[in-house]
Amino acid sequence: MTKSSTMTVAGVMSGTSADGIDVAVVRIVDPALAAKTKTPPGWGTGDRRFPTLSQKERKDGATSSGACRPKLTLLAHEHFAYPAPLRRAVLAAMNADAIATAELARLNWRLGVAYAEAVGATLARNKVKLDLVGCHGQTLYHQPRAEAYAGKKFACTWQAGEAQAIAAAMGVPVVSNFRPADMLAGGQGAPLVPLLDYVLFADEKRGRVLQNIGGIANLTAIPAGAAPRAVLAFDTGPGNMVMDWLAQELFGQPFDRGGAQAARGTVIEPVLKAALRHPYFKLRPPKTAGREQFGRAYAADFLDKCRAKSPNPNDALATATALTAETIAQSYARFVAPQMKDKPVDFIVSGGGARNRTLMKMLAARLEPMGCTVRDSNEFGMPAEAKEAAAFALLAWHTWHRLPGSVPPATGAKRAVILGQVTYA
């Protein structure tokens, strides 16, 4: 693998809400190579590839001062909605108890074509030349804990999307299949965004919580002045997933735009209190969630319970919105606040949920009394919708340089590992 001090990398992300594809193109500058040191910076602790750092800094890994953090600049971001037939196929595969192998094969290739088209359109609109692509793929199944199958117990995951289709179309290597290496090192394969969170947002004087609200909501907590080994990250629970399903079922809309329907409703407190007793919320990090816990079956049961208490559909959406806000706030109070040691905390929200004004008001009402300032990631030069895609650009860059991309305190892995597989053009 050739190494360059500057690379232009496209990150491609399609999340659990299955609303479409985000492409973020970033310029990544390696400060070690730019300074003509012998080897690039690493992420793991005690890595001898920190030739310019002190012994203490080597022990801690990267430092929050940025001594060995790559520099990222967002060059372009584009969103492409899934065509309706493709979205139906993705959702059907996610929710299927059984599905034909031919259907899965066709979906895998169709997604690869969609990713290639999205990257191509992004380049055409923004006139940039790529060196590398990092594609997360579409998660169809994620089982982070070992379960029995065909006589053996193991964890497993699958992110669909044929990488060779992207490499052939773009003429550059593609890094994909990021999660398995972490899982085979004892981790849950998620969350993987904490690497980007640390590189972009770690601060000497302020604690930072990076809360992404996609289909599932997840956070990364970085105490003031923290080294990477002090980072905490986990899924807080449902993000937009339940709200989106209710909006489709009740109003025929793909999502509650701006939280307008929820704003017209009243939270059904007995339903909310019962929902908060779900065993997932009591688990300590590291932990991950998905459609297996909070997908269609969960949302349908949630709606039934709302209808039993109120005929107003807006009340159901208001309650689902409150569930997302409350589980985020409770996660912060239980697991994160004690780590922040009374330092000021920026609670930075990204993902589609950041556009839901009702949800953001609920979050502010719960978090600000706990000393948090709720902010949008746009304020930091990274649009909310671009952050996850940019994360996979950075992870691909790490893979290309044979550097660990996982953060063991976030995933629960025994060690940091190089993530992903490289597909050449």
Grade residue 19 by pLDDT with cuts at 50, 70 and 90: confident
Which residues are within 8 A (CB) of 29 and not within 5 positions of it... i.e. 6 or more apart? 5, 6, 70, 71, 73
| 194-380 homologous superfamily | ATPase, nucleotide binding domain (3.30.420.40)
Which tokens sit at 194? Answer: 């904490």
Whether 25 and 133 have beta carbons less than 8 Å apart is answered as: no
d(CA 241, CA 66): 35
- Separation in Å, CA 258 to CA 122, 247, 274, 307: 26, 12, 26, 23
Grade residue 35 by pLDDT with cuts at 50, 70 and 90: low
Q: Which of 416, 398, 399, 419 is nearest to 407 (CA)?
A: 416
d(CA 144, CA 125): 38
User: What confidence score (pLDDT) does residue 290 get?
Assistant: 85
Whether 335 and 285 have beta carbons less than 8 Å apart is answered as: yes
Between residues 342 and 170, which one has the greater pLDDT? 170
Same fold, 6-190+386-423 and 194-380: yes
Mean pLDDT over 335-342 rounds to 92
d(CA 305, CA 408): 38
**Does residue 85 carry a pLDDT above 80?**
yes
User: What confidence score (pLDDT) does residue 232 get?
Assistant: 92
Q: Choose which CATH entry (2.40.30.10, 3.40.50.1360, 3.30.420.40, 1.20.272.10) describes domain 6-190+386-423.
A: 3.30.420.40
Grade residue 43 by pLDDT with cuts at 50, 70 and 90: very low
Distance, CA of 197 to chain centre: 10
d(CA 146, CA 325): 30
**Angle CA 395–24–15, to nearest 5:** 75
User: What confidence score (pLDDT) does residue 68 get?
Assistant: 61
Grade residue 65 by pLDDT with cuts at 50, 70 and 90: very low
Q: Is the pTM of this model over 0.85?
A: no
d(CA 267, CA 167): 48
Domain ranges of the chain: 6-190+386-423, 194-380
